[in-house]
Structure 1
Amino acid sequence: MATETRTTQGAPAPGGTSFSLSDPTFRAIVYQILVVGAVVLVGWFLISNTLDNLARRSIATGYSFLEREASFGIGESIIDYSPKDTYGRAFLVGVLNTLKVSVIGILLATVIGTLIGVARLSSNWLIAKLASTYVEIIRNIPPLLQLFFWYALVSDSLPPVRNALNPLPGVFLSQRGLWVPGLSHSPVWTMMAVAFAVAVVGTFALSRWAKGRQARTGQIFPMARAGLGLLIGLPLLAYILGGMPTALDMPKLTGFNFVGGKALSPEFFAILTGLTVYTSAFIAEVVRSGIVAVNWGQTEAARALGLPSGPTLRLVILPQALRVIVPPLTSQYLNLTKNSSLALAIGYPDLVSIANTTLNQTGQAIEGVTMIMGTYLTISLSISIFMNWYNKRIALVER
């Protein structure tokens, strides 16, 4: 006797297979195949049409232009660069400048946003109102307008280069930025950087060992002092072994600008300050909501144990609030990174600015745009992966 594979309502019985559109599973598969097919078809049409139009106009395609000489200068760069370098190196300079603004901005915005968020919950009426005013004003002003404000503030309030302020020997402040003495080129600085990286890895490994030791024996290892000793001691040891160089590269006025030393340009100051202030207001609300989400009983329990307000916030409230804070905090980090593209408006040579100059000179607009998109996508995915990893690490584990 054949086994019935369908119910009386026409739906497939458990374990049965139906190739009818009345079957929800089969219907879902068909719809997904149609959507994927439509996306592939539209993509193929756009790509083939673009390539055909480029060929008709005899416009070269590909990324070989990255090996050609750039022939344009860049105001500031982390690595050595000159107009004789390639477009590829110029693009790398833009990526590094974007990363510099993003990383420093994320760190500063996190610190300031956390302080403002905690201040909003302060029992002091004045502090709470000032923090609330900061958040409400900053969040409702467009970030581009804030960049213009900070840039104009620096450009209009400082004297020209010839009349630069000289508060300390070797320190000059003018419309061209802040110039300070820099370290002369020496292999010792590379040795110290490597030593610091080793110290960071060693501190992380030591922290893992200390936690395991405490879990096994209950003995607390002085991790703060040991970590600080590694982070300071290893670079200091490398400096001593390298001969302790003391030569400084002093800035000097030459023509219409300073040469030598290290400079903080008005453009970098404006983009960093604007993004930091703007994002910190949103992070403050994220931190405040995370703290409020922690049950008040946790605070009462900490006070019952005799913990002061500071340790209660640091050891009891914030660790629990992080589980609420981290997901929306990730979005703010991504927003800050993507908003760094506004640097084009104030002349800071970020990724978008340099790529825009490149595609204007070479005519490789599609390639330039895809490089910008690919770079921002890579940075954003990297931030998301790290924050998701951290979020899983601090999540509650149910047994």
Structure 2
Amino acid sequence: MLQAVLFDLDGTLLQMDTEDFMNEYLKELSQTVASVVEPGRFVRALLASTNAMLVNRDPALTNAEVFWADFRTRLGDCITDLEPLIEDFYAHKFINLSRVARPCPQARRAVQAALDRGLRIVLATNAIFPRSAIRDRMAWAGVADLPWELVTGYEEMHFCKPHPEYYREIAELLELKPEDCLMVGNDVQKDLAASTPGMRTYLVTDYLINPTRVDYQKLADGYGTLAELAGWLAGAGREKIEQEKQAVERVRKFVQVFDPNLEPIEFKEDTSTVEEAARTLGVEPGRIAKTLLFRAGEKYGLFVMAGDVRVNTKKVKALLGGGKPRMATPEEVEEITGYRVGGVCPFALATDIPIYLDESLQRFDVFYPAAGTDRSALPVTFAKLQAITGGTVVDVIK
């Protein structure tokens, strides 16, 4: 069940062009310390030490410890005079950078939508700034006074985006499973990386960062403007997240009664079609098991076959009887199977209907039916699937 929403800050809740902000930030900070160190040298050292934080994977060191240890090696000859100037900049001058940002009322509405549904909230900005600089930017966004359970400053965090350890650390601090969290952000690479440890994701598109032009619609669980996020959290988006988690868990529990070693695989990519699933798994299309629900009159039957074959409706009719068979509608599929189209698993069904396993699957040692969602699969043998489903072996292909 969804229990917490993680909100990115820059470009998500705080509307700004991140590149413009960083240029102004570096300009202001380097001018502040110009009496102690040449601005060009200072900026080079600052960026290098920031990169040391970004690449660090040592859980024993906070990001602040990594930054200052590296920074002192680069500017050790003037660090004593430099440190108080940097502290003064964050205490009194950083706030002037608010001119680069544009507050947006939708930010508060989106966070409030999560709170109204009893969800915990986390300000999950990349942990490369001091706490005070994050609080200033939260104030610019109009969300500083909300009951944030965690704000990811560099003083506390041990990892940065897009490392999966960053997201796992947040889940651990919340004492939640990653699967119980939703990450909301605008950066395809850094924020959608939350899906690696199992978090769900929503991509805010107002100030989208997508330099490699990835098809994010296939990666994110939801996407849209910040204004649309509140509605998404209130309605179908949140419901979809919870239903999908429950569906995969139902499949997992069901199969492990038969074999504890059977485990569904979940993907970031959409695997709702044979082609997409085969590409994601790196197998030939035939190994993707299609699970199709047919209706003939008032009778239903679930047919499982190889992904590279086509069904013969005359053979389906002979098995089901009744009138001319047709493919079930998406609504019928969800009602009868308990799964949505693109993610139908051939067992742990919502209703008791006959299951037919086509012979075309017997040529594979392992194949992959969906495991309850359009981003999942279950590696299984024909004999194991027959034992699990109690299905009848048939020939229903052309």
Question: Which category describes the TM-score, using the shorter chain as reference length?
Answer: under 0.3
The answer to which structure has the higher helix fraction is 1
- Report the TM-score when normalising by structure 2: 0.21
- Report the TM-score when normalising by structure 1: 0.21
